[in-house]
Amino acid sequence: MAELRFSALREVFNREPVAVKVPSPVISDYFGENVFDLPKMEHYLSNEAYKVIKKVINEGKSLTRQEAELAATGIKAWAIEKGATHYTHWFHPLTDGTAEKHDGFLEIGDYNRVVEKFSGAVLVQSEPDASSFPSGGIRNTFEARGYTAWDVSSPVFIVGTTLCIPTIFVSYTGEALDYKAPLLKTLTELDRAAVDVCQYFDKDVTKVYSTLGIEQEYFLIDEALYYARPDLVLADRTMMGHQSSKDQQLSDHYFGSIPERVMSFMEDFECESYKLGIPVKTRHNEVAPNQFECAPVFEEVNIAVDHNQLLMDIMKRVARKHKFRVLFHEKPFAGINGSGKHNNWSMATNTGVNLLSPGKNPKTNLQFLTFLVNVVKAVNENNDLLRASVMNESNSYRLGGHEAPPAIISVFLGSYLNEMLNNIAHKVTDRKMTPAQKTELKLGIGKIPEILLDNTDRNRTSPFAFTGNRFEFRAVGSSANCSGAMIVLNAAVASSLRQFKKDVDVIINKGRNKDEAIFQVLKKYILESGRILFEGDGYSKEWHAEAAKRGLCNIKSVPESIGRYLTPGSRKVLVSSGILTDKELESRVEVEYEKFTKKVQIEARVLGDLAINHIVPTGITYMTTLIANVKGLKEVFSDIEFERLAGARKEMIVTISDHISSIKRLVNDMIEERKKANVIEDSYKKALAYENKVKPYLDEIRYHIDKLELIVDNEIWPLPKYRELLFTR
Ligand code: ADP
Ligand code: MG
């Protein structure tokens, strides 16, 4: 077995960077060339069709059959010109990735001749027999199929020779089976709620978009080493491996010069992203060795999520060309930083205003504070729901880790804004305010620096931080589809804004003026939400105690945390607003419990196999060598000398033997626990059993394996070690 490890290492030593061919050194020459965007529509569609479709897209409606026919003709012409032979409805099922089933344009026409066809009907709707996707019981496999429908707000694009149509995925009875359908609903909800509130400040606002910039962290591992680690191949993370003597202690990788092979990988995947209209902008080395980050310029949320899903796919494919594997797991290596996906989120109007960016005068700043406070309120009231939206098996290894955002959701605003909110909370009175009082308040508000960005003291330990003109939700995992978090955030903020409008109108109807009413409601919200604001070190022990006192949610258990989707408060945000039905919500939770159970189950199997098939035999081999050595010593030396010489070796034999016995015993016990858990019917209880009874064995078994790694002859150790995985490239 050790041969595989050493031949892998030799392979890596001989690698050269792969040359990258870009279509042009000027990115704008080819940016978006594989996307059927509006300019291409203008070119390929008739004037009439172009106008109709543009209108439909802008209004966020769906196409009629006739409109679809018009669009399909243009799309087909473009796609065939680009060399496409197939088309697929591309969707986001409730697994971690995306899904596609390709069909050819090919059809048999008259005279048995092959013709290329692509109709409006197949553009807008398709019925893949996608019955094996998780649905949480909504759809039995023998029952109705699901169908996919084009989301016109996301343009079609070509990957290779396949035309991809971004779609939602719903059951025949109309229930959402994917991430996109509910995400789109929350965007409409937030638009409506935010426009209503904007009307207090600016009558020209008719549309509010949420914006999202996703920072994507990832690890790169050489392909040869990857294949020598079955745990990486099957469970996406290393399940054993002693810490490397040096890893990230010196922070010498962070922002360091990018290694050559990695650089050519980055250039290559960036080039592929540009062709698909993904505006990747930032790249750098991250903290852990072999860890990196990329970030695009922010876009409208739905597009940003599609682009992130597509980007991960591109990265995986391009990595293979460079003989790398990209790891999106949140914690592929124990003891060093894990990977997240910071969600930079804000809201923007059709008038070009970022609602979370302070403006130039008291009016725009009051609008800014209104939206800021409503987000704070939404996070406070739904901190457990937000937590549920990012909690899953793989992210649980990261959240609350020494470098990752704590498992407690709190909001960081920076000292300037904190003081501002304090002022409002204390200066606004419920009685009618005097003109002098109002002027004073407005003066203060007018003074908020236009660019808070540079004035915001950054706090890297906060899971939900205000960073000058947006919030950064940092608890989202690196492998996640960001829709999960965005559905909850959008819905929670929409719900808060709707309530805000009601509360303000009540006061206005009592005869107070608008500004005063807004101030009073803001004051109330600030006082109510105080507990969620935290400026200190989110990693500290004190914060855990303090957060408990404040009644903030800090649930360690994954299933329990996911269960918070089902509280009355969560249902109010997600169900009462019409984003999900009770049935849809419950089925999603069911899917999450099952995913958790299955992932732990896979890890337990992988670890069990590796422990018994790789590690125990290696330990025994080395023990046998030691025993032979001891026997040899006995033959060669006198009894007295033998005792002196053999002592340490005998101790080693005992230690190795003890570890081997422990591994065998623990693996057996773990299997027994799995058997018990597997017969539990209720998915929540089953997930809990996997978490409490099975999962603890993973660490216990690993402990003994990692100890053996330190003792056993390096020459026969079968798996690439941490120092090799992290430092060889
Ligand atoms: P940092 O690591 O300092 O947080 P990065 O440059 O890595 O910053 O990423 C910041 C992300 O935030 C980028 O994707 C950027 O486009 C995005 N962003 C900036 N302004 C907004 C905004 N108004 N709404 C959403 N995202 C934004
Ligand atoms: Mg960054």
**Mean pLDDT computed over 528-541:** 92
Q: Is 211 in the pocket of ligand 1 (CB under 6 A)?
A: yes
Q: How long is the chain?
A: 729
- Is 458's C-beta closer than 6 angstroms to any atom of ligand 1? no
Question: Which residue has a Cα nearest atom 11 of ligand 1?
Answer: 213
How many angstroms separate the CA atoms of 717 and 211, rounded?
Answer: 49
Q: Is the pLDDT of residue 264 over 90?
A: yes
Helix (H/G/I), strand (E/B), else coil: 353: coil
Query: What is the average per-residue pLDDT within 330-350?
Result: 96
**Rounded CA separation 356/367 (Å):** 9
Report the alpha-carbon distance of residue 101 to residue 103 in Å, rounded: 7
Q: Is the CB of 308 under 6 A from ligand 1?
A: no
Of 353, 262, 340, 308, the closest CA to residue 483 belongs to: 308
pLDDT for residue 128: 76
Mutate to test the pocket of ligand 1, among 344, 457, 466, 472 (most ligand atoms within 8 A of CB): 344
Q: Which residue has the higher pLDDT, 652 or 441?
A: 652
pLDDT value at residue 252: 81
Tokens 């009231």 belong to residue: 381
Residue 368 has pLDDT above 70, yes or no: yes
User: Residue 210, SS3?
Assistant: strand
354 CB near ligand 1 (under 6 Å): yes
Q: Is the CB of 298 under 6 A from ligand 1?
A: yes
- How far from the centroid of its chain's Cα atoms is residue 574's Cα? 20
The more confident residue out of 130 and 21 is: 21
| Phi-psi domain of 286 (left: phi exceeds 0; alpha: psi -120 through 50; beta: other) | beta
Identify the residue with better confidence: 201 or 363: 201
Q: What pLDDT digit, counting tens, does each position of 636-653 carry?
A: 999 999 999 999 999 999
| Phi, psi for 241 (deg, rounded to 5) | 135, 120
- Cβ of residue 341 lying under 6 Å from some atom of ligand 1: no
Report how far ligand 2's centroid is from the alpha carbon of 509 (Å). 46
Rounded-to-integer distance, Cα 567 and Cα 585, Å:
11
Residues 6+ apart with CB under 8 A from 126: 89, 147, 148, 167
Tell me if residue 149 falls in helix, strand or coil. strand
CB atoms within 10 A of CB 232: 25
Q: How confident is the model at residue 283 (pLDDT cuts 50, 70, 90)?
A: very high
pLDDT in tens, 703-722: 999 999 999 999 999 999 99
Minimum mean pLDDT range among 372-376, 402-406, 612-616: 402-406
Q: Is the CB of 209 under 6 A from ligand 1?
A: no
Cα 344 to middle of ligand 1, angstroms: 5
pLDDT at 475: 95
Contact yes or no for 610/158 (Cβ under 8 A): no
Sign of the dihedral defined by the CA atoms of residues 313, 314, 318, 319, in that order: negative
Atom of ligand 1 nearest to the CA of 212: 25
Cα dihedral: 388, 394, 397, 399 (round 10): -40
Residue by residue, DSSP assigns 230-271 as HHHHHHSS-S--PPPSSSSTT--STT-PPPHHHHHHHHHHHH
Q: Which amino acid type is present at position 407?
A: A
For ligand 1, whether the C-beta of 346 sits within 6 Å is yes
Distance from residue 193's CA to the centre of ligand 1 (Å)? 24
> CB of 119 closer than 6 A to ligand 1?
no
Question: Where does residue 306 rank: exposed (0-12), middle (13-18), buried (19+ CB within 10 A)?
Answer: buried
Q: How far is the CA of 453 from the centre of ligand 1 (A)?
A: 11
- pLDDT for res 455: 53
Other residues' Cβ atoms within 10 Å of the Cβ of residue 606: 20
Note the ligand closest to the C-alpha atom of 474.
1
Query: Rounded CA gap, 55 and 45, in Å?
Result: 14
The rounded Cα 676 to chain-centroid distance in angstroms is 32
The band of 446, judged by pLDDT with boundaries at 50, 70 and 90, is confident
**99 forms bridges with which residues in the sheet?**
91
Ligand 1 site, residue 282, Cβ cutoff 6 A: yes
Does residue 142 have a pLDDT over 60? no
Residue whose CA lies nearest to ligand 1 atom number 1: 215
pLDDT band at 459 (very low <50, low <70, confident <90, very high): confident
Cβ(460) – ligand 1 distance below 6 Å? no
Looking at residue 664, its pLDDT comes to 98
State pLDDT tens for residues 292-334: 999 999 999 999 999 999 999 999 999 999 999 999 999 999 9
Task: Tell whether ligand 1 has an atom less than 6 A from the beta carbon of residue 478.
Answer: no
88 three-class SS: strand
Range with the lowest mean pLDDT among 181-190, 291-300, 531-540?
531-540
Please give the distance, rounded to the nearest whole angstrom, from the Cα atom of residue 470 to the centre of ligand 1: 8
Q: What is the rounded CA–CA span in Å between residue 630 and residue 654?
A: 13
How far, in Å, CA of 382 to CA of 186, rounded?
15
Instruction: Report how far ligand 2's centroid is from the alpha carbon of 217 (Å).
Output: 9
Max Cα–Cα distance, the chain, nearest Å? 106
pLDDT for res 409:
95
User: Distance (Å, rounded) from C-alpha 393 to C-alpha 596?
Assistant: 5
> What's the whole-number average pLDDT of the chain?
93
554 within 8 A of 146, measured Cβ to Cβ: no
> What pLDDT does 70 receive?
87
Atom of ligand 1 nearest to the CA of 469: 23
Q: Ligand 2 mean position to 284 CA, how many Å?
A: 8
Section 167-186 average pLDDT: 92
E strands present in 395-523: 411-412, 464-466, 471-473
Average pLDDT of the segment spanning 526-530: 97
- pLDDT of residue 170 exceeding 60, the answer is yes
Give, in order, the Cα–Cα distances in Å from 433 to each of 276, 430, 441: 55, 8, 10
**362-381 helix and 180-198 helix, angle to the nearest 10 degrees:** 140
How much is the pLDDT for 566?
98
- Nearest-angstrom CA–CA distance, 410 and 532: 5
Letter for the amino acid at 43?
H
What mean pLDDT comes out for the span 75-91? 95
User: Is the CB of residue 526 below 6 angstroms from any atom belonging to ligand 1?
Assistant: no
The answer to whether the CB of 330 falls within 8 A of the CB of 476 is no
Task: Report whether 726 contacts 288 (CB < 8 A).
Answer: yes
Atom of ligand 1 nearest to the CA of 213: 14
pLDDT band at 144 (very low <50, low <70, confident <90, very high): low
pLDDT at 87: 95
Q: What is the CA 110 to chain-centroid distance, rounded?
A: 49
* Radius of gyration from C-alpha coordinates of the chain: 29
Atom 14 of ligand 1, residue of closest alpha carbon? 213
Q: Which atom from ligand 1 is nearest to the alpha carbon of 342?
A: 4
Our answer on whether the CB atom of 215 is closer than 6 Å to any ligand 1 atom is yes
Q: Determine if ligand 1 sits within 6 Å of the CB of residue 344.
A: yes
Beta strand 86-90 with 162-171 is parallel
Contact 326, 177 (CB under 8 A): no
Region of 511 please: left (phi>0), alpha (psi -120 to 50) or beta.
left
Contact predicate 528/377, CB 8 Å: yes
- List Cβ neighbours of 579 (8 Å cut-off, separation of 6 or more): 182, 185, 186, 189, 487, 491
What tokens were used for 682?
Answer: 């209720």
Rounded Cα–Cα distance for residues 491 and 149 (Å): 23
Specify the ligand 1 atom closest to the Cα of 348.
Answer: 23
Asked if residue 62 lies in contact with residue 170, where contact means CB atoms within 8 angstroms, the answer is no
Q: Ligand 2 centre and the CA of 467: distance in Å?
A: 12
Measured CA distances, 91 to 119, 151, 305 (Å): 19, 10, 12
Domains of the chain: 31-178 (3.10.20.70), 187-580 (3.30.590.10), 596-727 (1.20.120.1560)
The predicted-structure confidence for 690-705, as pLDDT tens digits, reads as follows 999 999 999 999 999 9
Q: How far apart are the first and last CA of the chain?
A: 21
Average pLDDT for 1-13: 93
Residue 405 Cα to ligand 2 middle (Å): 14
Question: Distance between CA 409 and CA 552 in Å, rounded?
Answer: 8
The 10 Å Cβ neighbour count of residue 243 is: 15
Q: Is the CB of 469 under 6 A from ligand 1?
A: yes
Strands (E), 429-470: 464-466
Rounded distance from Cα 281 to ligand 2 centre (Å): 11
Whether the predicted pLDDT of 107 surpasses 70: yes
pLDDT of 267 reads: 97
Mean pLDDT of 278-284: 96
**pLDDT at residue 362, as a whole number:** 81
DSSP secondary structure string for all residues of 38-87: HHHHHHHS-HHHHHHHHHHHHHT----HHHHHHHHHHHHHHHHHTT--EE
Q: What pLDDT score was predicted for residue 53?
A: 87
Secondary structure of residue 350 in the 3-state scheme: coil
Distance from the alpha carbon of residue 286 to the mean position of ligand 2, in angstroms: 9
| Ramachandran angles phi, psi of 207, nearest 5° | -150, 135
Helix (H) or strand (E) holding 218: strand 208-222
Reported in sequence order, the residue ranges of 482-640 that DSSP labels E, i.e. its strands, are: none
β-partners of residue 147 are 170
Name the closest-CA residue to atom 2, ligand 1. 215
Helices (H) and strands (E) in the chain, counts: 27, 17
Question: 340 C-alpha vs ligand 1 centroid, how far in Å?
Answer: 14
In the predicted structure, residue 454 carries a pLDDT above the cut 60 = no
Give the tokens for residue 164: 């991809």
Cα of 212 to ligand 1 centre, how many Å?
8
Classified as helix, coil or strand, 509 is helix
